[in-house]
Homo-oligomer: A and B are copies of this chain.
Amino acid sequence: MSDCVTIALDAMGGDRAPGMVVKGAEIALQRHPDTRFLLFGAEQKVRPLLAKVPRLAGAVTVQHTDEVVADDAKPSVALRTSRQTSMRLAIEAVADGRANGVVSAGNTGALMGIAKFVLKMLPGIDRPAIASLFPTRRGESVMLDLGANVECDEENLIQFALMGDVFARTVLGLMEPTVGLLNVGSEDMKGNDAVRGASARLRSTVSPIHFYGFVEGDDIAAGTVDVVVTDGFTGNVAVKTAEGTAKLFGEFLEATFRHSLSARIGYLFARGALRKLRMRSDPRRYNGAIFLGLGGIAVKSHGSTDAFGFANAIGVAVDMKVNGVLDKIRVELARVSQAPFAPEPAL
């Protein structure tokens, strides 16, 4: 029981919910057999799905609710009217200790707003950020914010840098991760006030962060730094642009192998290696973005993902818990907030 991790699932969030949530939980259970699930959603929809997967059914407790946060609900409205929604109930299960983390593929803004309200912020952090790992030439890096904060000031960016640094230390296991600020050029004068101001402070010799400087869009895939820090507008566009480009390239590649008889034969020989490439660049592998800065583990899945992608998002929450990432972030934040260079103290 002590090794058991319990994940609260918003069964009704996402384009293909609740089907992909249930199937995703089943896949996740195969990978993490000690996981238990609290499933929040419409019983009449969820029960028949669970009946088909008896092995999962034994690891699941269903809590019924008919209410769902609409995909187009404003975060403020969702927060006020969410009391009985599957999303809110799943988040509250984390707050009251019944679950170790929550995963939802629902409305991102609502999830962030409700999670912030229910789980509260970590000391020293004004706003949470959405962070995710992504594949690079050198392995994996982390980028934040991917959409929680459409507008960010200098102080927000610095807090993101701190959280990203701690996340890379704990999740990627790096001793001294490099941190870069996403900008339109590498020179000091480039960019807006927020990135220039944050850069000046991060360059300070008393900064606890190994600050690389400005990075540009092509540095993301190159893996120039371990942590890419940006505002939520730019980060959201960048990560979706990368996904879209990878998808297009994959389609071009498929068309290439249909191009001629010779190319078809070539495909037969290279099939095994190409399958590995497809797996390596499968965006579902990187599904599951973490809300950093909250007092609990909350993971956002892509709304359009399938069961395989949702299982990965569950895996992210399980890993966060198993590796004690949240506690490490708390400790690290306390440590860096002792440094002369620190986030603004919460007064």
* A31 to B: closest C-beta gap in Å: 25
Distance (whole angstroms) from the CB of A240 to the closest CB of chain B = 3
From 230 to 288 in chain A, residues with beta carbon under 8 angstroms from any chain B beta carbon are: 230, 232-234, 236-253, 256-257, 259-260, 262-263, 265-274, 276-277, 280-281
Chain B residues whose C-beta falls within 8 Å of the C-beta of A230 in the assembled complex: 237
CB-CB under 8 A from A259, the residues of chain B are 272-273, 276
Which chain A residues in 121-167 approach chain B with CB under 8 Å?
135-137, 147, 150-151
Chain A interface size range: 35 or more
Q: Is the CB of A237 within 8 A of B240?
A: no
- Report the separation of the CA atoms of residues A145 and B271 in the bound assembly, to the nearest whole angstrom: 40
Question: Are A272 and B262 in contact, CB atoms less than 8 angstroms apart?
Answer: yes
Q: Does residue A347 face the partner (Cβ distance < 8 Å to B)? A: no
Contact B147 A184 (CB under 8 A): yes
> A34 to chain B: which residues have CB within 8 Å?
none
CB–CB B222/A244 < 8 A: yes
Instruction: Establish whether residues A273 and B257, one from each chain, have CB atoms under 8 Å apart when the complex forms.
Output: yes
By the criterion CB–CB under 8 Å, are B280 and A273 in contact? Answer: no
The count of identical subunits is 2
Cβ contacts under 8 Å, A222 to chain B: 244, 247-248
Give complex CA distance A202, B257 in Å: 42
Contact of A213 with B by CB under 8 A: no
Residues of B within 8 A of A74 (CB): 189
**Given A273-B260, A273-B262 in contact, is the A218-B244 Cβ separation under 8 Å?**
yes
Instruction: Report the Cα distance A230→B281, complex, angstroms.
Output: 27
Residues of B within 8 A of A237 (CB): 182, 184, 216-217, 230, 234, 237-238
Q: Is the CB of B256 within 8 A of A266?
A: no
Is the C-beta of A187 less than 8 angstroms from some C-beta in chain B?
A: yes
The answer to whether A221 and B241 touch across the interface, beta carbons within 8 angstroms, is yes
CB distance from A146 to the nearest CB of B (A): 9
Contact, CB under 8 Å: B233 / A192: yes
Contact of A266 among B239, B250, B267 (CB under 8 A): B267
Provide the bound-state CA to CA distance between A153 and B7, in Å.
Answer: 43
Q: B residues within 8 A CB of A72?
A: 187, 189
Closest 7 CB pairs of A and B: A217-B240, A266-B270, A266-B269, A218-B244, A217-B241, A263-B273, A221-B244
